[in-house]
C-alpha cells in the first residue's frame, strides 16, 4: 500500500489531468481498491458497456481487461479508449477465435450464435447476439423462435443458462481460470463457519458450485442483492476484488470470500500510477478496425435492445 501522502498526491494529479483531457475513468468491480477509488464509474460488464455508449467525455480510461476496452471502442468509435496496462487480458476470451466460431457455424448452419461479452472484437463480429452474466438468461429467453443456439465461450455460463431457460445450448470448452478455483468444498466450509450467511455465486463458477448457491448473480447484481437482502452476512463466490465494493456500499454487513484463491491476476495489473501515466501519455490506445467494429456492434446493439 502506498503511503497516504503519495496516494493523495497521485489522486490529485489524476483528477487534474482527467479534467484537462476531458476523460472519464471506468473500473470493473474486480479492480484494486486504489483504482476503484479514483474511478468515475464502477460496474459489471453490462453497466460499463452502457456507460461507454453514453458518455460525453472525449477519452475513456478503461480499467479492466482488454475485451472491455475493445467493447467500449466498438460502442464509442468517436472516443479515444486508453488502457493503463495493455497486457491485462482475459484468458477466457483468448480460449476462442473467430475461425473457431466460423467452424461452429458451418457445423450448425441453422443455429443462431450468442457470445459472452468476454470475447475479442474479432469473435464478436461473428455473433448474432452478445450477452453478459447479467442478461444471458434474458437473451436466450428472447430467442424462443430459434431452433438451435450456439453459446460461447464459457461452458459454465452455458450450463447455467441452459438450466435456467430449459434450452439445449451448443457450447464451447471455455472457462474462467479464476472462477474455477472456487470449489464445492469451499462453499461447504464457509457455510459451516457462517451458518446464517447467504451464498452468492457468479455463473462462471463450476456447475457443482452453482448448485450449492442461494443466488447466482453477476458482480453488480450481487451488490444489489446484498443491499436489498435482510441477511447480514454473505459468502461471495466470485473474484475477491468485489468484496471491497460490497463492504464500502454495505458497511453494516459482513462479506466472506468463498475462496481467497479466486484472484484474477489480469484485473490486478492496473494501479493508480499506471492510470496517471496513461493520462499523461494518452496511451495505450485500444482501437477496433471499422470493418470489425460495424459487425461486432450489431451483436452488442441487439443485446442492449433486449435488456
Query: Pick from ligand SF4, ligand 13P, none: which does 218 bind, CB < 5 to 8 A by kind?
Result: ligand 13P
SS3 label, residue 280: helix
Closest distance of CB 294 from ligand SF4, Å = 26
Of 144, 124, 44, the residue nearest 295 (C-alpha): 124
DSSP conformational letter for 95:
G
Closest distance of CB 155 from ligand SF4, Å = 13
Alpha helices, DSSP H, located in 4-129? 4-21, 33-38, 45-54, 66-75, 98-107, 121-124
When computed from its CA atoms, the radius of gyration of the chain, rounded to whole angstroms, is 19
Closest distance of CB 239 from ligand SF4, Å = 5
Query: Pick from ligand SF4, ligand 13P, none: which does 271 bind, CB < 5 to 8 A by kind?
Result: none
Longest Cα–Cα distance of the chain, Å, equals 61
How distant, in Å, are the alpha carbons of 117, 247, 263 from that of 200? 21, 15, 17
CB closer to ligand 13P, 93 vs 111: 93
> For ligand 13P, which residue of 29, 71, 119, 165 counts as binding (CB under 6 A)?
29
| Residue 129, beta-bridge partner list | 114
Told to check if 132 binds ligand 13P by CB under 6 A, we report yes
Q: How far apart are CA 303 and CA 288, in angstroms?
A: 19
* Residue 241 half-sphere exposure toward CB, CA atoms < 13 A: 28
Of 30, 34, 32, 29, the residue nearest 8 (C-alpha): 34
CB closer to ligand 13P, 90 vs 275: 90
> For ligand 13P, which residue of 118, 135, 171, 271 counts as binding (CB under 6 A)?
118
CB closer to ligand SF4, 77 vs 177: 177
> Looking only at residues 225 through 244 of this chain, which bind ligand 13P when binding is defined by CB under 6 A?
none
**Angle at which helices 290-306 and 66-75 pack, to 10 degrees?**
90
H or E stretch covering 201: strand 198-201
Told to check if 70 binds ligand 13P by CB under 6 A, we report no
Number of CB atoms found within 10 A of residue 6's CB: 12
Query: Pick from ligand 13P, ligand SF4, none: which does 133 bind, CB < 5 to 8 A by kind?
Result: ligand 13P
Closest distance of CB 90 from ligand 13P, Å = 6
Query: Pick from ligand 13P, ligand SF4, none: which does 219 bind, CB < 5 to 8 A by kind?
Result: ligand 13P
Closest distance of CB 145 from ligand SF4, Å = 30
Residues that bind ligand SF4 (CB under 6 A): 65, 90-92, 118, 176-179, 204, 239, 264, 266-267
Residues of the shown chain interacting with ligand 13P in the complex, contacts defined by CB under 6 A: 29, 44-45, 90, 118, 132-133, 176, 202, 204, 218-219
Amino acid at each position: 500500500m502506498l503511503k497516504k501522502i503519495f496516494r493523495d498526491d497521485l489522486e490529485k494529479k489524476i483528477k487534474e489531468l482527467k479534467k484537462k483531457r476531458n476523460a472519464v475513468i471506468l473500473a470493473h468491480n474486480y479492480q484494486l481498491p486504489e483504482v476503484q477509488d479514483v474511478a468515475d464509474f464502477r460496474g459489471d460488464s453490462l453497466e460499463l458497456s452502457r456507460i461507454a455508449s453514453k458518455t460525453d467525455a472525449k477519452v475513456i480510461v478503461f480499467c479492466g481487461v482488454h475485451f472491455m476496452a475493445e467493447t467500449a471502442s466498438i460502442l464509442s468509435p468517436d472516443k479515444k479508449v486508453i488502457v493503463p496496462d495493455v497486457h491485462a487480458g482475459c484468458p477466457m476470451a483468448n480460449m476462442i477465435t473467430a475461425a473457431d466460431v466460423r467452424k461452429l457455424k458451418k457445423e450448425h448452419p441453422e443455429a443462431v450464435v450468442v457470445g459472452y461479452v468476454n470475447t475479442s472484437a474479432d469473435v464478436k463480429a461473428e455473433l448474432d447476439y452478445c450477452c453478459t452474466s447479467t442478461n444471458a438468461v434474458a437473451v436466450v429467453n428472447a430467442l424462443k423462435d430459434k431452433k438451435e443456439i450456439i453459446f460461447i465461450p464459457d461452458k459454465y455460463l452455458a450450463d447455467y443458462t441452459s438450466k435456467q431457460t430449459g434450452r439445449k445450448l451448443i457450447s464451447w470448452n471455455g472457462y474462467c481460470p479464476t472462477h474455477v478455483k472456487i470449489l464445492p468444498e469451499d462453499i461447504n466450509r464457509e457455510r459451516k463457519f457462517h451458518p446464517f450467511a447467504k451464498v452468492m455465486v457468479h455463473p462462471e463458477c463450476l456447475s457443482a458450485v452453482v448448485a450449492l448457491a442461494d443466488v447466482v448473480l453477476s458482480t453488480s447484481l450481487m451488490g444489489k442483492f446484498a443491499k436489498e437482502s435482510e441477511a447480514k452476512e454473505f459468502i461471495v463466490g466470485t473474484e475477491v476484488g468485489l468484496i471491497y465494493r460490497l463492504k464500502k456500499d454495505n458497511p453494516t454487513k459482513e462479506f466472506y470470500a468463498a475462496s481467497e484463491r479466486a484472484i484474477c491476476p489480469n484485473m490486478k495489473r492496473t494501479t493508480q500510477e499506471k492510470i496517471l501515466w496513461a493520462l499523461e501519455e494518452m496511451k495505450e490506445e485500444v482501437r477496433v478496425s471499422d470493418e470489425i467494429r460495424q459487425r461486432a456492434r450489431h451483436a452488442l446493439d441487439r443485446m442492449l435492445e433486449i435488456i
